[in-house]
Amino acid sequence: MKSEVGTSQCRKQSLIEDARKEKEISEVTTSDPPDDTFDHPDEGSSTLYLIFTVSNTSVSPFSTSLKTFEKHGAIIYHIETRPAGQCKMKGEELECFVKCFIHNSSTCSLLSSLKKIAGNVKVIKDLSAPSFPRKVQDLDMCQHLSMKFEPDFDKDHPGFGDQEYKKRRGYFAELAFKYKYGNVIPRVEYTSEEIATWKQVYKSLSSLYPNYACKQYLETFQQLEKYCGYTEDSIPQLQDVSNFLKERTGFILRPAAGLLSARDFLACLAFRVFPKKLYWFTIEFGLCKQNGSIKAYGAGLLSSYGELMYALSNKPALKNFDPEFTAVHPYQDNSYQPVYFISESFEDSTVKLRQYALKMKKPFCLRYDPFTCSVEILDTFQKVRTALCEIKEELKNLCSALDKIC
Any known ligand binding at 284? yes
Based on C-alpha coordinates, what's the Rg of the chain? 27
Largest CA distance in the chain: 81
- Are residues 322 and 237 in contact, defined by beta-carbon separation less than 8 angstroms? no
Non-local CB neighbours of 67 within 8 Å, separated by 6+ positions:
none
CATH architecture of 2-21+133-352: Orthogonal Bundle (1.10)
Q: What is the dihedral of CA 218, 236, 175, 190, to 10 degrees?
A: 130
Give the Cα separation of 209 and 215 in Å (integer): 10
- Is the pLDDT at 163 greater than 60, yes or no? yes
Give the Cα separation of 168 and 159 in Å (integer): 11
pTM of the predicted model, to two decimals?
A: 0.64
Give the Cα separation of 214 and 205 in Å (integer): 14
What pLDDT band is residue 126 in, cutting at 50, 70 and 90?
A: low
Residue 235 is given by DSSP the state: P
pLDDT, residue 283, reads 43
Kindly state the helix (H) or strand (E) to which residue 53 belongs, with its residue range: strand 45-55
Domain with CATH 3.30.70.260 in the chain: 45-123
Which is nearest to 296 in space by CA: 318, 273, 276?
318
What pLDDT band is residue 262 in, cutting at 50, 70 and 90?
A: confident
Q: Which residues of 349-370 are buried (b: 16+ CB within 10 A; e: fewer)?
A: beebeeeeeeeeeeeeeeeeee
Q: Is the dihedral of CA 249, 253, 259, 265 positive or negative?
A: negative
- Is the pLDDT at 177 greater than 50, yes or no? yes
Mean pLDDT of 111-137: 82
For the chain, give percent helix, strand, coil, nearest 5.
Answer: 45, 20, 35
Q: Which residues of 267-278 are buried (b: 16+ CB within 10 A; e: fewer)?
A: bbeebbbbbbbb
pLDDT, residue 156, reads 67
CATH (residue range 45-123): 3.30.70.260
Give the Cα separation of 333 and 8 in Å (integer): 9
Give the Cα separation of 340 and 212 in Å (integer): 15
What pLDDT band is residue 31 in, cutting at 50, 70 and 90?
A: very low
Write the pLDDT tens digit of every residue in 307-351: 899 999 989 999 999 999 888 888 776 788 889 999 999 899 999
Cβ neighbours of 192 (radius 10 Å): 7
Where are any strands of DSSP class E within 293-344?
Answer: 293-296, 317-320, 339-343
Write the pLDDT tens digit of every residue in 11-29: 444 455 555 555 554 443 3
End-to-end alpha carbon distance in the chain = 52
pLDDT, residue 372, reads 94
pLDDT, residue 35, reads 39
Domain with CATH 1.10.800.10 in the chain: 2-21+133-352
Write the pLDDT tens digit of every residue in 185-240: 999 999 999 999 999 999 999 999 999 999 999 999 999 999 998 999 999 999 99
Mean pLDDT of 140-167: 73
pLDDT, residue 18, reads 55
Q: From residue 373, how far is each of 34, 265, 273, 385 by CA, in Å?
A: 27, 17, 10, 20
Contacts made by residues 364-367, CB under 8 angstroms, sequence distance 24+? 364/129
Strand-strand pairing, 252-256 and 273-277:
parallel
Residue 145 is given by DSSP the state: B
- Are residues 152 and 166 in contact, defined by beta-carbon separation less than 8 angstroms? yes
